[in-house]
Structure 1
Amino acid sequence: MPEGDTVWRQARDLDAALAGQLLTGSDFRVPQLATADFTGRMVQSVRSRGKHLMMRLAAGSADGPAAVIHSHLAMEGHWDIYPVGNLSGRASGARPARWRRPAHTARAVLTTELAVAVGFSLGTLEVLSDGEARTAVEHLGPDLLGPDWDAREALRRLRAAPERPIGLALLDQRNLAGIGNIYRNELCLLGGVHPETPVADVAELPRIVDLARRLLEANKDRPVRSTTGGPARGDASLWVYGQAGKPCKRCGSLIRHATMGDPAFPRHAARDIFWCPRCQPAAGR
């Protein structure tokens, strides 16, 4: 699942390409929006809230109030932006000549005079009113990349369930919004805690929350993230994530791997965890 910095970057790029532009075509390829058409509407802004994208459209002169196109990337979603020249003379809203992803995975195609934005494999795609848009994200904790980031509130939410494993608490977007599985694993290493350690036993919890903010801020403008301070490529960029069987960059012990499910979300598949047995001893050891 894309991390919060990836979603922030998607919102930034979509906003730069679409904000202030009139839609010359809109094509939604999900059944519930098959008849929706926002041609002629102006895109006012595109913003991220945690891992959610909110594209706000101005009210039309005769076709309804302001609306918000809400999307969530889920595991494999992505918005691509193409110059309008790629339409090769076809009608507005037609598929560009060379999409970088399979056409059958497209869920939304939004066209202006300057650009075509295509949402592929989106986990969520819906059109909401302003009030509904606020409700859709009101359950989220403080946004690590938001202008109203509140570390104290994030800590309060994390500590509200002291028995919960830190590896699950960090992934729960109701506590703080923006951490995905990569950052979850990296933060546990940096905090010196095994992912199964109860929140109550994490002495460095304020430091971990501060590191979460700093890491996402440092990486939000990078196409390839680095949590180690090393080059943003290959094994040098990450401490433990995806490094099973390789030596820890701190102590040389071999990185271990397992999966961890969340009883609070039984429908969600168990996620990978990686840890160093020496730098992150299991709880109680």
Structure 2
Amino acid sequence: MPEGDTVLQTARRLHRALAGEVLTRSDLRVPRFATADLTGRSVLGVVSRGKHLLTRIEGGLTLHSHLRMDGAWRIYRPDEHWRGGPTHQIRAILGNSGHTAVGYRLPVLELLRTADEEKAVGHLGPDLLGPDWDADAALRNLLAAPARPLGEALLDQRNLAGIGNIYKAELCFLARATPWLPVGELPGATAALLVTTARQLLEANRDRPVRITTTTARSRTATGQASRPGRPSENLWVYGRTRRPCLRCGTPIRAAEQDARPAYWCPHCQSGPTP
């Protein structure tokens, strides 16, 4: 599932291609909105909210989409071949004279009034990359259910919006806690530092084509020590590194399922319960 930084980059690409231009092509390939015609309307802008995309269109309309596991928006020029997938996977087409945005495998696609956007995203916690970011509110949300496993709490977009499975694994490592440690067992300073580090990691990667967590200058471990710079081929501390040596101590990284997703941790560097 795309993380908040990836969704922000997608919003930027869509904004550059569509904003300020009149739609000359509109095709929403979902039954509920199949007859909707947006041609002749200008796109006002595209923004991200956590992992959600909001394409605002003239006339008080918003096209809300979510990528979930394998959805994607691709931008094409008029003479460019569409390479995002087979035609039957296309769920949305928005085009103007210079660009065509094609949404593939979008599990969430709905047209709503811009005034009703909160119905789609109002449940989200503070957006790690948004203007509404509030570290204190995010921390309160995270600690509201002290018995909840840390990994699950980090992925809950109602607590703070933008963390996916990659950042979950990396943040647990930097906090020196396994993903199964109850949130309430984190020392208070560690919990607050975790929220701050989450913001720093996503901010550091919002403009990068490749996500890196091991060389983020300001990221800190739970002990306050600066994160060890990783080599170019080792951009992540633990995610996807099963059985490979920990970049900090050399212990083989382990993986197990948590809430139907893989969770990664170092048995030496991270404390807490494990499967």
TM-score by length of 1: 0.88
Q: Write the distance in 2 (CA, Å) between the matches of 1:19 and 1:75.
A: 26
Letter paired with 1:85: D
Q: CA deviation at 1:85?
A: 3.1
Is the 8 Å Cα contact of residues 227 and 239 (structure 1) preserved in structure 2?
yes
Amino acid paired to 2:57: L
Are the counterparts in 1 of residues 238 and 266 from structure 2 also a CA contact under 8 Å?
Answer: yes
Give the deviation of 1:233 after TM superposition: 5.7
Identify unmatched segments of 5+ residues in structure 1. Answer: 60-65, 87-96, 262-269
Q: 2:262 aligns with which of 257, 265, 272?
A: 272
Equivalent of residue 118 in structure 2, options 106, 129, 134: 134
Match of 1:242 in 2: 240
1:232 to 1:51, Cα distance in 2 relative to 1, 3 A: farther
Secondary structure of 1:104's partner? helix
Closer, same or farther in 2 for the Cα pair 1:173/1:57, shift >3 Å?
Answer: same
Residue 136 of structure 1, CA deviation? 1.0
8 Å contact from structure 1 (residues 225, 232) kept in 2: no
Identity of paired residues, percent?
54
Q: Tell me what 1:58 maps to.
A: 58
Aligned to 1:77: 71
Number of equivalent positions = 259
CA distance in 1, matches of 2:24, 2:50: 29
Q: CA deviation at 1:174?
A: 0.2
* Residues 153 and 5 (structure 1), Cα distance of their counterparts in 2 relative to 1, 3 Å cut: same
Aligned match of 1:21: 21
Query: What are the residue-to-residue correspondences of 1:196-275 with 2, within 5 Å?
Result: 196-203=180-187, 204-229=190-215, 234=233, 236-261=234-259, 270-275=260-265
Moved over 6 A (4+): none
State the secondary structure of the residue aligned to 1:84.
coil
Q: Deviations over 1:190-238 (max 9, x none)?
A: 110011111111110111111110000110111110111157964x101
Q: Structure 2: how far apart are the matches of 1:232 and 1:74?
A: 30
Q: CA deviation at 1:148?
A: 1.6
Confirm or deny: 8 A CA contact 2:84 2:104 kept in the other structure.
no
CA distance in 2, matches of 1:114, 1:196: 49
Unaligned stretches of 5+ in structure 2?
216-228
Tell whether the 8 Å contact from 2:71 to 2:106 is kept in structure 1 after alignment. Answer: yes
User: What is the CA–CA distance in structure 2 between the aligned matches of 1:274 and 1:231, rounded to whole Å?
Assistant: 17
Structure 2 vs 1, CA of residues 220 and 231 (structure 1 numbering), >3 Å: closer, same or farther? farther
Equivalent of 1:195, from 162, 167, 179? 179
Amino acid at match of 1:195: P
Report the CA distance shift for 1:38/1:231 in structure 2 as closer, same or farther (over 3 A). farther
- For residues 232 and 222 of structure 1, the distance between their equivalents in structure 2, rounded to whole angstroms, comes to 16
One-letter amino acid matched to 1:26: S
Moved more, 241-250 or 222-231: 222-231
Pairwise CA distance, 1:29: 1.2
- Measured in 2, the distance between the counterparts of 1:232 and 1:130 equals 45
Mean CA deviation greater in 225-234 or 127-136: 225-234
Superposition pairs of residues 160-171 of structure 1, within 5 angstroms: 160-171=144-155
Q: Which moves more between the two structures, 140-149 or 223-232?
A: 223-232
Contact 1:151 1:209 in 2 (8 A): yes
1:127-148 per-residue CA deviation (whole Å, 9 max, x = no partner) reads 0012321221111000000012
Q: Could you tell me how far apart the structure 1 residues matched to 2:87 and 2:209 are?
A: 24
Distance 1:225 1:232 in 2: 13
